[in-house]
Amino acid sequence: MFEHLKEQPKDKILALMQAYKDDPRDTKIDLGVGVYKNPQGVTPIMRAVKEAERRWWDEETTKAYTGLAGDPAFTDAMINLVLGNSVARDQFSAVATPGGTGAVRQAFELVRMANPEARVFVSDPTWPNHLSILKYLGMETIMYRYFDNASGGVNFGGMMEDLGQVRKGDVVLLHGCCHNPTGANLNMVEFKAVIDLMNEKGAIPMIDIAYQGFGDGLDEDAAATRAVAAGCPETLIAASCSKNFGIYRERTGLLMAVAQDKSMQAIAQGNLAYLNRQNYSFPPDHGARLVGIVLNDDDLRADWKAELEEVRKGMLSLRTQLADELQKLSGSDRFGFLAQHRGMFSRLGASPDQVEKLRADHGIYMVGDSRLNIAGLNKDTVPVLAKAVVEVGI
């Protein structure tokens, strides 16, 4: 049987991680995989998460199964974090999933189950796993224009023109905040125009929100998601806790389905739980439990928020430093977009050859499309990167 299997394409981001590890140069800089690193290059366990873990070690009395939807203390707290009070509790259903990826995968499966004809519109570019999961599920995928390489911003006119082709029942995938891989985001006026267009066409928005708290703040980063959930008849939301709680390997995420028609709540909830059961029965508990403990305890929540703010502000200051340094060295403002972008990533706009030169000649690792992870820098390596960028002629 196995002889019928073909080789599968490798995940380029993960392959880059390995290439970095194998590089013997001690001056190498890792701007590849989207993992937060502090100025010492460490991905820390957040203080509140560690404390929650200590408490849970004492309090946990059983490892028996949870429910198919996961721990309600987690799902309720996350619904609150993502949606605030933008929609009423009886309008949505939610299940815990293994990471944001699990939520994305199951959102697509739910779409396919409900409407096998649905086409999924994704931004050009988007997180590669969106494309790979859609392909695996055999779902028709259409890219809409998004990033404008010349300005480093969003090509909003092109995006709206392409979204003009959506048909009733199609799904439009939007990044809630901190677009991966470009770092370029819609403003709220633009988001409102997208909401109006989708309502006019009868399309269903799906939001992937994996970096809440990494852009402009927890509420600010959720503003677009809340506006969509409140403004469209039906919305799917895949949220990840990997980055903002720093619990990547615990595999913690949440899939939410919001409907203005409250009679849909029970059927949606039943289908989300059904999908969990088909795929893995019960979602992982440990990470979800820690998130629930942190969010439901005033002191831990406050400390988590404070640490997340430090992380967010640290990345913002690296952005400004890099934009300033490049302005100085290149004598032009063409890198100003770096300070406007939000989240961990920015797309630099370099060619694959230039990206390869950065790796080979300077030991600087970024993804082939010239996406760099801002958190891979610190104030000492920013000038090193800026000099290399100018040297390779970007």
On the question of a cis peptide bond just before residue 125, with omega within 30 degrees of 0, the verdict is yes
CA–CA gap between residue 121 and residue 266 (Å, rounded): 27
DSSP assignment letter at 212: T
288 is annotated as an active-site residue? no
> Is the distance from CB of 171 to CB of 120 less than 8 angstroms?
yes
100 binds, among ligand PLP, ligand TYF, none (CB under 5 to 8 A by kind): ligand PLP
147 binds, among ligand PLP, ligand TYF, none (CB under 5 to 8 A by kind): none
Residue 13: CA count within 13 A, CB half-sphere: 16
Q: Which of 69, 243, 259, 388 is catalytic?
A: 243
**Residue 393 region, left (φ>0) first, then alpha (ψ -120 to 50), else beta?**
left
Q: How far is the CB of 284 from ligand TYF (least distance, A)?
A: 16
Place of tokens 């979204």: 163
Q: Which of 30, 37, 71, 127 is catalytic?
A: 127
Residue from 21, 39, 38 nearest 30 by CA: 21
Q: Which of 96, 203, 210, 268 is catalytic?
A: 210
CA–CA gap between residue 238 and residue 55 (Å, rounded): 28
Q: How far is the CB of 371 from ligand PLP (least distance, A)?
A: 11
User: Which stretch, 63-71, 96-104, 139-147, 288-296, contacts ligand PLP (CB under 6 A)?
Assistant: 96-104
Q: How far is the CB of 138 from ligand TYF (least distance, A)?
A: 20
Contact call for residue 346 and ligand PLP (CB under 6 A): no
| Beta carbon nearer to ligand PLP, 194 or 326 | 194
Residue number of the CB atom closest to ligand TYF = 34
Contact call for residue 321 and ligand PLP (CB under 6 A): no
Strand partners, 186: none
Environment class of residue 188 by beta-carbon count within 10 Å: exposed (0-12), middle (13-18) or buried (19+)?
A: exposed
37 is annotated as an active-site residue? no
Q: How far is the CB of 187 from ligand TYF (least distance, A)?
A: 23
Q: CA-based angle 48:52:53, to the nearest 5?
A: 120
359 binds, among ligand TYF, ligand PLP, none (CB under 5 to 8 A by kind): none
Backbone phi, then psi, for 121, in 5-degree steps?
-95, 125
Task: Pick one of 66, 91, 235, 240: the residue that binds ligand PLP (CB under 6 A).
Answer: 240
Side chain identity at residue 77, one-letter code: A
Interface residues with ligand TYF (CB under 6 A) are 11, 13-14, 33-34, 127, 129, 180
Question: DSSP 3-state assignment of 77?
Answer: helix
List binders of ligand PLP among 7-46 (CB under 6 A).
34
Contact call for residue 127 and ligand PLP (CB under 6 A): yes
Residue number of the CB atom closest to ligand PLP = 99
Contact call for residue 97 and ligand PLP (CB under 6 A): no
Distances in whole angstroms, Cα of residue 337 to Cα of each of 12, 138, 301, 305: 25, 36, 33, 27
3-state secondary structure 237-253: EEEECCCCCCCHHHCCE
User: Which stretch, 159-167, 191-199, 212-220, 240-248, contacts ligand PLP (CB under 6 A)?
Assistant: 240-248
List binders of ligand PLP among 100-119 (CB under 6 A).
100-101, 104
127 is annotated as an active-site residue? yes
Backbone phi, then psi, for 172, in 5-degree steps?
-115, 115
On the question of a cis peptide bond just before residue 283, with omega within 30 degrees of 0, the verdict is no
Contact call for residue 180 and ligand PLP (CB under 6 A): yes
Radius of gyration of the chain (CA): 21
Contact call for residue 208 and ligand PLP (CB under 6 A): yes
The residues, ordered by sequence, that sit 6+ positions from 187 with a Cβ below 8 Å of its Cβ are none
253 binds, among ligand PLP, ligand TYF, none (CB under 5 to 8 A by kind): ligand PLP
Q: How far is the CB of 99 from ligand TYF (least distance, A)?
A: 8
243 is annotated as an active-site residue? yes
Q: How far is the CB of 33 from ligand PLP (least distance, A)?
A: 9
Q: How far is the CB of 43 from ligand PLP (least distance, A)?
A: 13
CA–CA gap between residue 274 and residue 109 (Å, rounded): 11
Catalytic site residues? 127, 208, 210, 243
Residues within the interface to ligand PLP (CB under 6 A): 34, 99-101, 104, 127, 175, 180, 208, 210, 240, 242, 248, 253
